[in-house]
């Protein structure tokens, strides 16, 4: 059973996500909060596997929430829920340690796969998010390094599919290998690109033309 906490200030969005998760026997929404006040304490109390985090919330927003959560439980997988109102916030979320991004308009079709992907260490990124992530990095000019990273052909194939928003399960099926094999490839990709998350890997891959963006 995957235990989930939701931070979202809009009641109708909380209700929609709760109904979606409650329909799945292997997922359980154990708590919901309207902002990230005391986020660290909530994580200590509930010890979730996955956190769903709105970026824009009153009092304490999602970016500060990510920082709080990663400081007390770094292995917690955090999926940001965003409408892309501000590229700067996306960039700040990546720096804080966010593990994935889902567009709110795509929650119905993508959220369940993103949660399951997160439980095996994967990063789910809505198609189109990669471009915004890349723009944020370009604006900050914070991606150093050479233009070649010695990725194998298979690692490039995996990374290309990650930029398209594929889950580990979908990448594995597409390449006719196991999900565990994809996980191993991703560890190698992170190491070679010197990144710590899927969004960072996508941004760097597009910046240095390791793969072609749509």
Question: What digits encode the pLDDT tens for the residues 26-36?
Answer: 999 999 999 99
Q: Do domains 2-119 and 139-207 have the same CATH topology?
A: no
Q: Flag whether the pTM goes above 0.95.
A: no
Question: Domain limits of the chain?
Answer: 2-119, 139-207
Please determine, for residue 98, whether its predicted confidence score (pLDDT) is greater than 70.
Answer: yes
68-96 average pLDDT score: 81
3-state helix, strand, coil in the chain (%, to 5): 55, 15, 35
What are 170-195's pLDDT values in tens digits? 899 999 999 889 988 888 888 888 88
Helix intervals (H) in 39-128: 39-46, 62-72, 87-96, 107-119
* Of 15-29, 87-101, 117-131, highest mean pLDDT: 15-29
User: How far apart (Å, rounded) are the C-alpha atoms in residues 206 and 214?
Assistant: 10
27 by DSSP, 3-state: which? strand
CATH of domain 139-207: 1.10.10.10
The H or E element that residue 132 is part of is helix 129-140
pLDDT for the residue 16: 94
CATH superfamily ID and name for 2-119? Response regulator (3.40.50.2300)
Q: What number of CA atoms fall less than 13 Å from residue 211's CA on the CB side? A: 26
């Amino acid at each position: 059973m995957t235990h989930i906490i939701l931070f979202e200030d809009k009641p109708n969005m909380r209700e929609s996500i709760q109904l979606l998760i409650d329909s799945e026997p292997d997922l359980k929404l154990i708590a919901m909060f309207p902002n990230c006040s005391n986020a660290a304490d909530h994580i200590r109390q509930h010890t979730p596997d996955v956190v769903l985090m709105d970026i824009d919330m009153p009092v304490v927003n999602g970016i500060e929430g990510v920082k709080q959560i990663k400081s007390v439980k770094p292995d917690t997988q955090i999926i940001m829920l965003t409408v892309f109102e501000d590229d700067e916030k996306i960039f700040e979320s990546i720096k804080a340690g966010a593990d994935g991004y889902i567009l709110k308009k795509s929650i119905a079709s993508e959220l369940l796969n993103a949660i399951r992907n997160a439980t095996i260490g994967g990063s789910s990124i809505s198609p189109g998010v990669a471009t915004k992530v890349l723009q944020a990095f370009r604006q900050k000019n914070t991606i150093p390094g050479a233009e070649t990273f010695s990725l194998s052909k298979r690692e490039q194939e995996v990374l290309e599919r990650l930029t398209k928003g594929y889950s580990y399960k979908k990448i594995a099926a597409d390449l006719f290998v196991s999900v565990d094999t994809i996980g191993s490839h991703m560890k190698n990709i992170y190491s070679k690109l010197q990144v710590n998350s899927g969004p960072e890997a996508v941004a760097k891959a597009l910046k240095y033309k390791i793969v072609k963006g749509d």
